[in-house]
Amino acid sequence: MKHNNKNLCSLVQAYFDGQINQDDLIRFKAHLKHCPNCQNILRKLNSVSDFVKSTQESVPDKAFFDTIWERVEDKLVQERLSVFGMMQGWIDNIFYYVRFFLKPALAVCFIFLLIMLPHLEKRVKDGVHVALRVESEIKRIESKTNVMIVKTKPKRWTVIWVMPPQRGGGKSKCMEI
């Protein structure tokens, strides 16, 4: 089959697709060396092909799935190591900044302690009393009638119970406790 130059140019697509017979292939290759038009077309086809190949997703092979858990574990270990590294960095920073803030911080604590000391002392005293639950203590009692003093168990409250007056009145009795 005879081909002129124009016919040989029409084989460029078949050549690019690899669908060309042996005779045409020899002739087209000889033609391609001298035909800038075919060279240009072939260059464009190649560039389009490369672009399409580059945008295609790569499908992982079987080995990828076989080793996936090992790689996940490795990644976790690396992340854990990076957290420790970060903490180490913080600790180093703390020691670095302590040099600057230690004195002011101690001064602030000292002032705070001085301010709070009277209140703390009172709180502690009250706390001791509350803990022992001695809410009240009777020191002295005087009455014309009988009086009963009761201390409750759960909270140790004190109750002074004044009995009804006796007929004809009574002498006032006093008791120091």
Partner 1 sequence: MHGNLNLAVKMVFVLICVVFVSVPVVLSNNNEVSINITAIMASHETDSIDSDLMPIADEFKTLFSYSSYKKIKKYTVVLKENQSDRIVLPQEQDLVVDYKGLDEKDNIAIHVSMGGVLNTDFTLIDGGHILIGGPEYEDGVLVLLFEAKF
Binding-site ranges for partner 1 (CB under 8 A): 107, 110-111, 114-115, 117-119, 122, 125-126, 129-130, 134-145, 147, 150, 152-155, 157-165, 174
CB of 154 to partner 1, least distance (A): 7
- Nearest-Å Rg of the Cα atoms of the chain is 51
What is the rounded CA–CA span in Å between residue 177 and residue 172? Answer: 16
- Closest CB to partner 1 among 71 and 156? 156
- Closest CB to partner 1 among 81 and 160? 160
How many Å is the maximal CA-CA distance in the chain? 156
CB of 144 to partner 1, least distance (A): 6
- Closest CB to partner 1 among 94 and 115? 115
Q: Indicate the SS3 state at residue 6.
A: helix
- Closest CB to partner 1 among 83 and 131? 131
Residue 152 phi, psi dihedral angles, 5° rounding: -80, 150
Residue 118 phi, psi dihedral angles, 5° rounding: -60, -40
